[in-house]
Structure 1
Amino acid sequence: MNKLLPHVDVKPMLRTLKQLEFRWPVLGEGLGGAWQWSPAQWNLLKTLAEMRNQHSKSVLIRLYVSPDDKNSSHYIIKLDQASLSLSSREDYITNTSAAQAYRAALLSLMVDVAVMLGAPEKAALTQMEEALAFEIKLAHIVIPYENRTSENMYNKYTLSRLQRFIPQFDWLGFVRTVVESKGDPALSISSSEPVIVRAPQYFKELFKLINSTDPRTVANYVQWRTVFSRITTLSRRFLYRYLDFARVTTGMTSLTPRWDKCVNYVENTLVYATGRLFVNTHFQEDKKNMMEELIEGVRWAFIDMLEKENDWMDEPTKRRATEKAHVVLAKVGYPEFILNDTYLNEDLSQKDYYGNVMQTLQFIAKSDVAWLRKMVPRTEWFTNPTTVNAFYSSSTNQIRFPAGELQKPFFWGTEYPRSLSYGAIGVIVGHELTHGFDNNGRKYDKNGNLDQWWSNSSITAFNEKTKCMIEQYNGYHWDEAGLNVRTTQFECT
């Protein structure tokens, strides 16, 4: 019989919130002592950096490493706005009944979780109201999705230039704290380090907002985001309280069964180990070969239509489109290295679920940073083999079809007529392939570099062709929310 661990409830999270960088002001009001927050000891930079390092959580500022959009063979540091507690910016800035209900549910959750962790109820209500008011102001300065075009988000700075542009924050210190590693001298960061600043105006407004806000409120908001991201790793009373919130915001009506939650955690954490098990059991090489043939058939049909039926794209642009279609790299099934046991021997060592999650997040936090200074491996997958989905990557000009997607009803084996697979997954292949030529993918050339290779006349013709779809969708109205669908040419793919 397995020996059960003692009931831990909030103890693991309280250990986290005892750390100087993670102290939650409202919690210190009740627990005092080692949990007491002090404005003199609090440092926003260290807190944001340690959230990124220990929780793989970006609050206010998102820092990550990915291919340079204009030099896609090299990795570069990118700085961007971070997400909000609620998924939609409109939930904060509109006054529809649905948006008001979301904000009320969020405030109630903030207060209750603070109290459940040890904060006094009166202080929790007052300080969480102030924290939510701060987040509402934050939502107003977040760059909306439709304005986040590839061109607008490509702003290359050195850290020294960024420091002159926004002097209220120590950018070099922040990047160093997140990126530098004693074990890897190549990751040394200087003021000349190039970075892509994806939302410069947001950062400008962000530090105006921070400087005009009580530090206690900013700290309460930032630490709330840490706690919010870890609620579902705590005991069942927290899970049921989160369920009350999720009923309002997502319509969820019951907790995920424990077995389902644990299986999903293992699958999403040990992605290549579980991928190997899946491939061994459910994936045969004849599937891979058949899928590769199918992709080539769809590619041929796409190029044939492009050359013979496209009447709005001029010849030079059409020629470059054909070249791009020919070199789209198709990945099918899984990366070969998962068949090598050496790559799969990573273990979790903590004794509680919360601890295992935290260990995993610390690993994830460093996984993208480790690619800095390296060439982009165009053959790398970065996709869980068990994923039931398909993808297009503009920076590598590749389409990916993991083994999890190559199952019925999407994909039928060699014992079935090929028409079934062409009708089911062939549609998905065509969908992913055309992402390389939609209103975002067309901005990247055949090598994955951000480059206007379409002529102005072809862009104008494309935009004309999309107008009917935009007008159609703008005519749809959602009565319950009191909103019209808002689409733009940026979203028309």
Structure 2
Amino acid sequence: MNTYFQAIVIVFTFVTRITTTPITTNKLDVIQPVDQLNSSYVRDIMRLSKAAEIHNYMNGSIDPCDNFYNFACGNWLKINPANSIQHATTGFFESITLALNRKVALVLKSGVQDSDTETDIKVKKFYESCTNIAQIQSVYRAKLKEIIAEFGEMPALVGDKWQEQNFNWLETVGKISLKYGKDIIISIDVLADYAKNTENRVYIGPSDLPLESRSMYLDNVTKIYREGYKMTIADKLKRYLGINEQVAKETAADIMDFEISLARGMIDDKLGLDLDEMTQLTTIDNMQKKYAPDIDIRRLLDIRLGSDFNETIYEFVPEYQDNLKNIIIRTPKRVVANYIFYYLLSDFQLKNAKTRASQEVLCIAETKSHFAKVMDNMIYRKYNTKTTEMDIELVWNKLKSIYRSKLRSRELNWIDLDTRKSAIEKLDAMKLEINSYTKDDFTKEFANLTINGEDYVENVKSILSWGASQLLTKLHEPPKSLEAGEILSYTPANIIIENTIKVPISLLQPYYLWAAVYPNALKFATLGTLVGHEMVHGFDDSGRKYDKDGNSRDWWDELSTKTFVEKTKCFSKQYSKYIYGGRNLPKSTAQSENIADNGGIRLAYEAYLNWYEDAVRSGQDLVFETLPTLNYTSKQLFFITYAQLWCSDTHPRLRDLQTSVDSHVPSMFRVIGPLSNFLEFSKEFNCEVGTQMNPLRKCAIY
């Protein structure tokens, strides 16, 4: 349930992972840990190199008080343009993801090592089967058709021979979910109860739709993406199933129309609804009364969970089920069947690339999609340096201390004392974890998973069947830490139902933003704002409704809540005035990301000042807090480096998609918005009141 994960996993940034570029080794992937680079010569070279990189991205002809993003990132487009579908977006997160992928490639292609665990070997065998997919090309199409035959017939394949009377959509999706754990049209999942997270509970609601957001399916401005996706469906029907072009086009059009109808029941993300506004605790009998016979909830649960299951359940997004009941009646069964079988095969479809290098890129992505946490653990074990973990710990402790002081200060006296006391309790209970998975017993977890190095399709069947079997196990176990797949591999996240911030191993890679030889200003401006952003998410318009234990509970008093809402409106007005791609950014009630951006930069800057003052008091030599050849103070470097965290480019054809599916504003405004609200920034760059970067009216919550 994509919307459910969005509600409980607040992630940091938009990354478009579209690439067919071969992965080559980069010197940063094999460079020695910074604590081994202790000669003054190497240190000076690295500092000069970093200064040159910062300078190269900047455009000194731009007035920093007019547009600080263009000042700090003005030359980014010349150096890192997003000028093709292979390079659809460029930016820091794309850079560290590619760097991580290079490490993944080295590990996967290394062959079986003495240090490999049983699970490591299974992962490498899966990758091997993927790169060897050409070996099964002669039987590939037949294998896909055999998967369809497990559950019936696809009308687009058999034509007039299709027997409509033999098709029952709910029976079909139920059996697919039971066998392969793949939810189509409607979803059944077992997850922690957001109101009492010590227990698991069944959730029934919408299945994930590939274009992700309601606006992508329904807005006129995003029609081009729907048309492109429809062409993709037709192409896959031809390529993987051998359906003739005309039938493929007609079938793709029907599938797209049906999917658009389903999307009308989706929640608009811009409304900023909370889980308790999207979810109802109910019984199977009540859902049966609402939706039978068109949606036989009891039968669906009998198939997936067994006839003895009769507990209270959560209905997620009732609007979706209401809409589904109406459209399932009027949609021809042929269309529904084609839709179901097309998406049944989506996990098994893999392009046979023209070159070995391109195939390896595809297979790295496939391996990560199925074994994200195992791959993270493998990379961590091979490349981990304690230095970067110590950096994260230093920043975390400073941020926590600063935020605790802020919550006690007059600065936030608009919040009632009792509410602030509860906020401090939540902050103190908040945990930070690096996604290394060192405590996971993968050997036990994956013991029943069988993988071979030859047959990709059989391996995917094995993985999906193994995953499907885990659902029943979860019913009778206490909740485990939430798994969100690849999301937690490349971006920090706040798991609000666990009150835990998770840091991906991709951020442990040194030299991209910070290192021991760089000024600490860079560390706090990048790592500090990333972690600070997630910390503030625990107290934003959604996170503030969860307590210190991660349970849904409104612990804010009425007056403080009223003031909070008014302050949130300031951000809504501010950001909706920004223009991107010739249009104003969509106005949104949900402001959690903007609140976190603004609060995160303030926390990180104050944490840096606190570190700096401690260093002065201890007599520490701060000569390295500036960089050679750059005529900027350490505080100015902090803001420049923060801005360069967001230097980026997005292919023009994807800009409307970005504003439609991403809850974050485009990168430029993640710089301009927070810094124009921050008086300390204006002081450091002497921006007069009334300039764009120092407006008279400023928005702030924390």
Tell me the CA shift for residue 173 of structure 1.
2.2
Structure 1 distance, partners of 2:512, 2:312, is 43
Q: 1:15 aligns with which of 141, 146, 155?
A: 146
Q: 1:359 aligns with which of 453, 462, 466?
A: 462
CA deviations over 1:1-58 (Å, ceiling 9, x no partner): x99725334232122122234x3211111xx8xxx53222212122212333444432
Structure-1 residue corresponding to 2:266 = 142
Structure-1 residue corresponding to 2:383 = 282
Q: 2:552 aligns with which of 413, 437, 450?
A: 450
Cα 1:298–1:348, aligned 2, differ >3 Å: closer, same or farther? Answer: same
Tell me the CA shift for residue 453 of structure 1.
0.6
Cα 1:76–1:130, aligned 2, differ >3 Å: closer, same or farther? Answer: same
Cα 1:86–1:420, aligned 2, differ >3 Å: closer, same or farther? Answer: closer
Structure-1 residue corresponding to 2:303 = 177
Structure 2 distance, partners of 1:68, 1:152, is 15
2:226 matched to 1:114? no
1:149–1:490 CA contact under 8 A, matched in 2: no
Structure 2 distance, partners of 1:203, 1:381, is 26
1:131–1:221 CA contact under 8 A, matched in 2: yes
Structure-1 residue corresponding to 2:371 = 270
Structure-2 residue corresponding to 1:248 = none
Tell me the CA shift for residue 301 of structure 1.
0.9
Higher relative contact order (CA 8 A, sep 6+): 2
Structure-1 residue corresponding to 2:202 = 77
Amino acid at match of 1:216: R
CA deviations over 1:314-368 (Å, ceiling 9, x no partner): 1111111011000012213523335886667654137322332232223333445
Structure 2 distance, partners of 1:458, 1:27, is 61
Q: 1:24 aligns with which of 151, 154, 159?
A: 154
Correspondence 1:46-445 to 2 at 5 A: 46-96=171-221, 98-99=222-223, 101-116=224-239, 117-147=241-271, 148-168=273-293, 169-180=295-306, 189-190=308-309, 192-231=310-349, 233-236=350-353, 257-285=358-386, 287-308=388-409, 309-338=411-440, 347-349=450-452, 351-377=454-480, 387-409=489-511, 412=514, 418-445=520-547
1:384–1:402 CA contact under 8 A, matched in 2: no
Cα 1:215–1:488, aligned 2, differ >3 Å: closer, same or farther? Answer: same
CA deviations over 1:216-253 (Å, ceiling 9, x no partner): 1221222233344544x14459xxxxxxxxxxxxxxxx
Amino acid at match of 1:330: L
When Rg is computed on C-alpha atoms for both structures, the one with the higher figure is 2
Structure 2 distance, partners of 1:47, 1:445, is 41
Structure 1 distance, partners of 2:365, 2:318, is 37
1:390–1:432 CA contact under 8 A, matched in 2: yes
Helix, strand or coil at the partner of 1:207: helix
Amino acid at match of 1:13: L
Unaligned runs of 5+ in 1: 181-187, 238-253
Cα 1:333–1:152, aligned 2, differ >3 Å: closer, same or farther? Answer: closer
Correspondence 1:447-486 to 2 at 5 A: 447-479=549-581, 484-486=585-587
Tell me the CA shift for residue 122 of structure 1.
4.1
Across the aligned residues of Structure 1 and Structure 2, the Cα RMSD in angstroms comes to: 3.2
Structure 2 distance, partners of 1:427, 1:484, is 23
* Number of equivalent positions: 457
Structure 1 distance, partners of 2:323, 2:494, is 33
Cα 1:160–1:400, aligned 2, differ >3 Å: closer, same or farther? Answer: same
1:66–1:76 CA contact under 8 A, matched in 2: yes
More divergent stretch after superposition (357-366 vs 151-160): 357-366
2:571–2:591 CA contact under 8 A, matched in 1: no
Helix, strand or coil at the partner of 1:202: helix
Amino acid at match of 1:137: S
Tell me the CA shift for residue 280 of structure 1.
2.4
Tell me the CA shift for residue 485 of structure 1.
2.1
Cα 1:26–1:268, aligned 2, differ >3 Å: closer, same or farther? Answer: closer
Amino acid at match of 2:529: V
Amino acid at match of 2:185: L
Helix, strand or coil at the partner of 2:165: coil
Helix, strand or coil at the partner of 2:572: helix
Structure-2 residue corresponding to 1:245 = none
More divergent stretch after superposition (138-147 vs 323-332): 138-147
Structure 1 distance, partners of 2:362, 2:404, is 44
Structure 2 distance, partners of 1:5, 1:171, is 43
Cα 1:344–1:285, aligned 2, differ >3 Å: closer, same or farther? Answer: farther
2:156–2:251 CA contact under 8 A, matched in 1: yes
Cα 1:377–1:262, aligned 2, differ >3 Å: closer, same or farther? Answer: closer
Unaligned runs of 5+ in 2: 1-127, 596-702
Tell me the CA shift for residue 418 of structure 1.
4.8
Cα 1:256–1:310, aligned 2, differ >3 Å: closer, same or farther? Answer: farther
CA deviations over 1:118-163 (Å, ceiling 9, x no partner): 3344444444433332222222232222344222122001112211
Structure 1 distance, partners of 2:319, 2:156, is 31
1:69–1:154 CA contact under 8 A, matched in 2: no
Tell me the CA shift for residue 419 of structure 1.
4.7
Task: Calculate the TM-score normalised by the size of structure 1.
Answer: 0.82
1:127–1:217 CA contact under 8 A, matched in 2: yes
Structure 1 distance, partners of 2:512, 2:576, is 31
Tell me the CA shift for residue 385 of structure 1.
11
1:444–1:452 CA contact under 8 A, matched in 2: yes
- Counting aligned pairs with the same residue, the percent is 22
Tell me the CA shift for residue 442 of structure 1.
0.7
Task: Calculate the TM-score normalised by the size of structure 2.
Answer: 0.59
1:476–1:485 CA contact under 8 A, matched in 2: no
Tell me the CA shift for residue 257 of structure 1.
1.9
Structure 2 distance, partners of 1:255, 1:62, is 37
Structure 2 distance, partners of 1:93, 1:83, is 16
More divergent stretch after superposition (202-211 vs 343-352): 343-352
Amino acid at match of 2:570: C
Cα 1:210–1:381, aligned 2, differ >3 Å: closer, same or farther? Answer: closer
